[in-house]
Amino acid sequence: MVTDNAPQSATGLLRGTPVVAGVVYGPVQVVRTDLDPAAVAAFAAGPQPEGDDAIAAYDAAVDKVAAGFLARSEAAHGSAAEVLAASGKLTRDRGLRTMVRKNIADGHSLLEAIDAAVGHFAEMFAKMGGLMAERVTDLHDIRKRIIAHLIGVSEPGIPVPEVPSVLVAEDLAPADSAGLRPELVAALVMEKGGATSHTAIIARQLAIPCIVGVAGALGLPAGQRVLVDGAAGIIDPAAEPQDAERKVAASIAEREAQEKWTGPATTADGAPVKLLANVADPASAEKAAKTPVEGVGLFRTELAFLKSTEEPSVAEQADLYEGVLRPFVEAGAFHVVTRTLDAGSDKPIAYATIEGEENPALGVRGYRLTYDKPGLLDHQLDALKIAGERVGIQPWVMAPMIATPDEARDFAKKAHDRGLKAGVMIEIPSAALLADRIVEQVDFLSIGTNDLTQYTMAADRMATDLAHLTDPWQPAVLQLVAMTAAAGKRADKPVGVCGEAAADPLLACVLVGMGITSLSMAAASVKAVGAQLSRVTFDQCVKAAEVTVDMISPANAREAARAVLID
């Protein structure tokens, strides 16, 4: 067994969390996005504006920074445009301005006032966790840009590389990552950040191979050619050029093969694997129904209600659910799993979430909302029944955040009373440990590896500094998944995976080897997973599952699986 779990191994390899697959060999460009400390010190030592002049100078700098974000947002599209527009809004945040003004009134210099106000909000966001914690990087970036205008230097940013390069940084500000040019940025290697950081989101959108959370990355010498393997999460600074070029060519061939894969998914020896889509609304369902999936494994209903202040009526909900079911039924895919409201924690919904909880990730979220508001669940199930009748299928429905067999039984009864197929998500370690007793109560299980990892490792899934813990390759998580799959096999009932783990081509093979019957993922990942499954036998998957759960770290587990499935 390999025991090395340090980020930088004795071989000189650097490791991090893989985000976007692809092998790249190119020169390092180290990006430092800090302001020049000498310029800041010179400004701080001189006479700074005071009172109303200080707040006027702040407002003028804010206007320039916000205008810059707006211009970049208009030039970008997709999630990049959204990220930039959100930064523009945050720049003009009234709470931030009020605190800067107060700090100035309390006698602080303008720079001190800004630093203290940003520090206050950054701490508050970090404490709130979840999506808010992700905004801390944005806040610090905004601070640097405002100060750059005050002291009269250019806003910090990424210099445009002259040749396609491996961009290495601590983490990129949204404004920088959203403006990346894929033709010049061959790969991204970030010292910080997790799989849900802005850099990761943008890298996925731009399809730039990317690894985050790489300890020691900033130590890579500028200009040196390094080999980046985005799927394995490995950077090799000492790669031999010929070997590196061979691996790059193989990766290009792999991408071409993926494009040609059309499904349905089987292993090389013909074992079928159901590949399903994760969808959020009728628009994403329309798109996903055109890809080689056999249905939907996770319709996250709460995402359609994030902005609703009142509970939508049963009729409104029925229309929405029908909009998701119909494109699949018309494509001949009748397996569509709707998840009941998973409100709370990182997905607050005005009409459902309980305000002011000390620890919302462990609070009244998901199925627990029905303790006090059973109507929420009843109305969803009524609406789903209507939608199923309209399109002529029996909908599958599952509840999130189930902790006990009793909860599973109560939920299944309500769903069965309406003629729906009933399942529950396995996202809490207690549910995985009692999977045998939970599966007795329902028709199917679906493992949410994102939350199962969060709760198994006691690590906030959004905390970028904990990305090494919130890795679904953590052997403890894999063991709980294997236990759940085994319970499904004993009961002869389907067990799917609908967390991010299903979208990792290598891990998908491991899951199939454990006995997982369906894999549900963002439509963009389907071809990569399908193509990988088509290259391995079912026995290889079983072997990979066996060796992986025995490992002691995610890196070891990945390597062990690769050895069986690829090398």
Binding of ligand PEP by 200 (CB under 6 A): no
Binding of Mg ion by 448 (CB under 5 A): yes
Q: Which amino acid is at 489?
A: K
d(CA 183, CA 165): 9
Query: Considering only residues 138, 229, 427, 471, which one is a binding residue for ligand PEP as defined by CB under 6 A?
Result: 427
Partner whose footprint covers residue 322, from ligand PEP, Mg ion, none (CB < 5 to 8 Å by kind):
none
First to last CA, the chain: 17
Half-sphere exposure at residue 502, Cβ-oriented, CA atoms within 13 angstroms: 28
Say if residues 463 and 133 touch (Cβ distance below 8 Å).
yes
- Residue 315 in tokens: 């009729």
d(CA 340, CA 537): 36
Query: Considering only residues 203, 227, 298, 341, which one is a binding residue for ligand PEP as defined by CB under 6 A?
Result: 298
- Give the binding range for ligand PEP (CB under 6 A) out of 32-40, 115-123, 193-201, 447-455: 447-455
Which of 149, 379, 498, 509 is catalytic? The answer is: 498
Could you confirm whether 498 is annotated as catalytic?
yes
Query: Considering only residues 451, 460, 471, 504, which one is a binding residue for ligand PEP as defined by CB under 6 A?
Result: 451
* Diameter over CA atoms, the chain: 76
Length of the chain equals 567
Which of 198, 335, 379, 468 is catalytic? The answer is: 198
Q: Give 176 or 451: the residue with its C-beta nearer to ligand PEP.
A: 451
- Give the binding range for ligand PEP (CB under 6 A) out of 15-23, 320-328, 446-454, 503-511: 446-454
- For residue 1, count CB atoms less than 10 angstroms from its CB and return exposed for 0-12, middle for 13-18, buried for 19 or more: exposed
User: Could you give the string, one character per residue 479-498, with x where binding to Mg ion holds by CB under 5 A and - elsewhere?
Assistant: --------------------
Binding of Mg ion by 451 (CB under 5 A): yes
d(CA 148, CA 143): 9
Whole-angstrom CA distances from 219 to 9, 12, 27, 31, 108 are 14, 12, 14, 12, 37
Whole-angstrom CA distances from 184 to 158, 162, 285, 382, 425 are 12, 7, 33, 52, 42
Q: Give 43 or 396: the residue with its C-beta nearer to Mg ion.
A: 396
Q: In what order do the strands lie in the sheet with 17-20?
A: 14-15, 234-236, 225-229, 23-30, 165-169, 185-190, 210-212, 17-20
Q: Give 454 or 540: the residue with its C-beta nearer to ligand PEP.
A: 454
Count of residues in contact with Mg ion, rule CB under 5 A: 3
- Taking the complex as a whole, the smallest distance from the CB of residue 393 to ligand PEP amounts, in Å, to 22
Site for ligand PEP in 331-360 (CB under 6 A): 342
Q: What is the DSSP string of 486-536?
A: HHHHHHT--EEE-SGGGGSHHHHHHHHHHT--EEEE-GGGHHHHHHHHHTS
Site for ligand PEP in 478-517 (CB under 6 A): 498-499
Count of residues in contact with ligand PEP, rule CB under 6 A: 10
- Give the binding range for ligand PEP (CB under 6 A) out of 49-57, 147-155, 314-322, 443-451: 443-451
User: Could you give the string, one character per residue 408-427, with x where binding to Mg ion holds by CB under 5 A and - elsewhere?
Assistant: -------------------x
User: Could you give the string, one character per residue 249-288, with x where binding to ligand PEP holds by CB under 6 A and - elsewhere?
Assistant: ----------------------------------------
Partner whose footprint covers residue 267, from ligand PEP, Mg ion, none (CB < 5 to 8 Å by kind):
none
- Residue 445 in tokens: 């299980």
- Taking the complex as a whole, the smallest distance from the CB of residue 450 to Mg ion amounts, in Å, to 5
Helices and strands: H and E segment counts in the chain = 21, 16
Could you confirm whether 509 is annotated as catalytic?
no
In this structure, how many other beta carbons lie within 10 angstroms of the beta carbon of residue 371? 9
Q: Give 427 or 471: the residue with its C-beta nearer to ligand PEP.
A: 427
What residues are labeled active site? 198, 498
What residue ranges bind ligand PEP (CB under 6 A)?
Answer: 298, 300, 342, 427, 448-451, 498-499
What residue ranges bind Mg ion (CB under 5 A)?
Answer: 427, 448, 451
